Chains A and B, each alone.
Chain A
Amino acid sequence: MEKTIYKRLKGSQSFRQRLLLSTLSSTPILISEIRDDDMIPGLRPYEISLLRLFETVSDDCSVVINETGTQFKYKPGIIMGGKNLVHNCALSRSIGYYLEPLLVLGLFAKKPLSIRLRGVTNDAGDPSVDTFRSTTLRILTRFGVPKEGLDLKIEARGVAPGGGGEVLLTVPNVQSLTAVQWTDEGMVKRIRGTTFSTRVTRDFEHSMRYAARGIFNNLLPDVHISEDHKAGTQAGKSPGYGISLYAETTTECVISADTAVSYGRTDETGELDAEKEVRLPAEDTGVQIASWLLHEVEKGGVVDSTHQGLLFILCALCQQDVSKVRVGTLSPNGVETLRNIKEFLGVKFGIKPDTETGTVILTCVGSGLINLSRKLS
């Protein structure tokens, strides 16, 4: 057997992206010094859970973690995909955390992916499953991913700390992604969204919708926010409520904003995070998310700040052709993503600020990743 050469990296930063890009580019990685200064060192349960998810969808990959969890080796295998897969996500991060890399992974799998994810569907830290349905999946179709077979069904909702939500994700395979010229963000023509409540009265939803609507009244009449009150087994294990909104533009761009309110999680030390214990009333939550959505629209760009990372990764994976996209102010995660892309795929973006509109134009030549494992029909 030939000796594996590992790319050496440090720290827990960009854990998901490193795993994803390592798998796509078939680069074995060795990450050391993971939270070695922390009170509780090493990988977190959600990171282990993500590793298990990568193992679930691929064949022949190997993961070796040291005793303290501060170092691990990952050798990517073949992305298999497949039907009837199930994964229980660690509850310390919501399902959105796992979905982000999984979506891209699924595209380059051997067989179409169909997987059930269980855990927290909505929280304040990661994009909600509603945002995935309304916004994230639509970004993929821009790059030539077929709409058929690309879906996320919300079968049950669950909030922190108990979770109990369940979604069914299906992702089709592609041969390669098509480069995009995507710089026209258009004008907002409608605002849509949904509120939800689990194990609490639906009055919370009414307050959120009413408050959010009040913010948009000055700007646009075409606003519709639906409600989704869950009861029984579909409501998960913990009480909570939340709101996900999105703005659609004349050029079919979608800008999103979402959050959820529930009891806080206990952190690794078993103590409640004091900051997160302050829960916002439903009305204020509605105002906050509606305001954030307008803030995102003001920033400009064809995607919101949450989706910058995904956008850049897709551009970098495209066939060897020039992609050009416009985003608002670069988000911290966007900057991290650009660095990781350069590290793993060798793709460097041209980044130019457009001073007149306060936006940023990015151009790159895709790495031309081809899905070799997919069977030709």
Chain B
Amino acid sequence: SKWKEPLKEEGRKKKPNLMQIVYGASGSSDTALMNENRENSDDEESDDEDFFKPKGEQIKKLGGGWDVGYVNSEECSKFVNYGNLKNWKEKEVCESIRDRFTTGDWSTAGLRNK
């Protein structure tokens, strides 16, 4: 019915469809992401100093942790980003994952897999 439609759309906006992110929207190639990255790198070339920089280096600069889809990315299964780790020395931070440990509340932990 009509009144449901705006609601449905709202719901779609909130949750990105993981299937589409991973496999690309219905058949379109997932290389769009990579081409975008590379075009950006060309724009930044305007400085005279950077004129004779080898191409590879600029990509290195741009390529942060998440360089999925870039044709010549390095393959590495270990995914680390120590930069924005929480301060686990603090008690309150630890309490937030208390129920993931056997020292926490077993009933709430059990709910996870219901």
**B88 x A291 contact (CB < 8 A):** yes
Kindly list chain A residues whose C-beta atoms are within 8 Å of the C-beta of B43: none
Kindly list chain B residues whose C-beta atoms are within 8 Å of the C-beta of A13: 70-73, 75
Q: Does B85 contact A (CB under 8 A)?
A: yes
Q: List B55-112 residues whose CB lies under 8 Å from chain A.
A: 55-57, 59, 65-68, 70-80, 82, 85-89, 91, 94, 96-104, 106, 109, 112
Q: Does A26 contact B (CB under 8 A)?
A: no
Closest to A218 in B: B94
CB distance from A336 to the nearest CB of B (A): 6
Kindly list chain B residues whose C-beta atoms are within 8 Å of the C-beta of A333: 75-77, 79
B interface residues, tally (CB under 8 Å): 48
Instruction: Report the bound CA distance from A28 to B30 in whole Å.
Output: 23
Known contacts: A37-B72, A38-B55. The answer to whether A188 contacts B66 by CB under 8 A is no
Contact pattern, A 65-104, Cβ under 8 Å of B = 1, otherwise 0: 0000000000000000000000000000000110010000
Known contacts: A187-B106, A294-B88. The answer to whether A339 contacts B30 by CB under 8 A is yes
Q: Does A126 contact B (CB under 8 A)?
A: yes
Q: Identify the stretch in A55-63, A154-162, A231-239, A301-309 within 8 Å (CB) of chain B at 4 or more residues.
A: A301-309
- Range of interface residues on chain A? 35 or more
Known contacts: A33-B71, A38-B56. The answer to whether A342 contacts B109 by CB under 8 A is no
Kindly list chain A residues whose C-beta atoms are within 8 Å of the C-beta of B106: 187
**B100 x A12 contact (CB < 8 A):** no
Q: Does B8 contact A (CB under 8 A)?
A: no
**B23 x A348 contact (CB < 8 A):** yes
Closest to B84 in A: A295
**B85 x A291 contact (CB < 8 A):** yes
Contact pattern, B 11-49, Cβ under 8 Å of A = 1, otherwise 0: 000010011011100000010000000000000000000
Kindly list chain B residues whose C-beta atoms are within 8 Å of the C-beta of A335: 21-22, 68
**B75 x A14 contact (CB < 8 A):** yes
Kindly list chain A residues whose C-beta atoms are within 8 Å of the C-beta of B66: 332
Q: Does A250 contact B (CB under 8 A)?
A: yes
**A298 x B23 contact (CB < 8 A):** no
Closest to B19 in A: A351
**A39 x B56 contact (CB < 8 A):** yes
CB distance from B15 to the nearest CB of A (A): 6
**B89 x A215 contact (CB < 8 A):** yes
Kindly list chain B residues whose C-beta atoms are within 8 Å of the C-beta of A338: 22-23
Contact pattern, A 2-25, Cβ under 8 Å of B = 1, otherwise 0: 000000001111111100000000
Kindly list chain A residues whose C-beta atoms are within 8 Å of the C-beta of B70: 11, 13
Q: Does A355 contact B (CB under 8 A)?
A: yes
Kindly list chain A residues whose C-beta atoms are within 8 Å of the C-beta of B73: 11-13
Q: Does A322 contact B (CB under 8 A)?
A: no
Kindly list chain A residues whose C-beta atoms are within 8 Å of the C-beta of B88: 215, 290-291, 294-295
CB distance from B64 to the nearest CB of A (A): 10
Cβ contact of A294, chosen from B55, B97, B99, B109, cutoff 8 A: B97
Instruction: Report the bound CA distance from A351 to B56 in whole Å.
Output: 34
Interface centre among B23, B98, B99, by most chain A C-beta atoms within 10 angstroms, is B23
Known contacts: A298-B97, A333-B76, A338-B22. The answer to whether A250 contacts B102 by CB under 8 A is yes
**A220 x B101 contact (CB < 8 A):** yes
CB distance from A42 to the nearest CB of B (A): 11
Q: Does B113 contact A (CB under 8 A)?
A: yes
Instruction: Report the bound CA distance from A272 to B16 in whole Å.
Output: 41
**A37 x B85 contact (CB < 8 A):** no
Q: Does A113 contact B (CB under 8 A)?
A: no
Cβ contact of B56, chosen from A37, A215, A298, A342, cutoff 8 A: A37
**B102 x A187 contact (CB < 8 A):** yes
CB distance from A269 to the nearest CB of B (A): 10
Kindly list chain B residues whose C-beta atoms are within 8 Å of the C-beta of A353: 15, 18
Q: Does B6 contact A (CB under 8 A)?
A: no
**A125 x B96 contact (CB < 8 A):** no
CB distance from A307 to the nearest CB of B (A): 7
Cβ contacts A to B, 6 pairs, < 8 Å: A38-B56, A189-B101, A338-B22, A339-B23, A342-B23, A360-B18
Instruction: Other than A13-B73, A305-B79, give 19 A-B pairs with Cβ distance below 8 A.
Output: A11-B72, A14-B75, A33-B71, A35-B56, A37-B59, A38-B55, A126-B76, A127-B77, A185-B113, A187-B100, A219-B97, A259-B80, A288-B85, A291-B88, A306-B77, A306-B78, A335-B21, A338-B23, A342-B23
Ordered nearest first, which 8 A-B pairs have the shortest CB separation? A11-B71, A38-B56, A218-B94, A351-B18, A331-B79, A37-B55, A39-B54, A332-B68
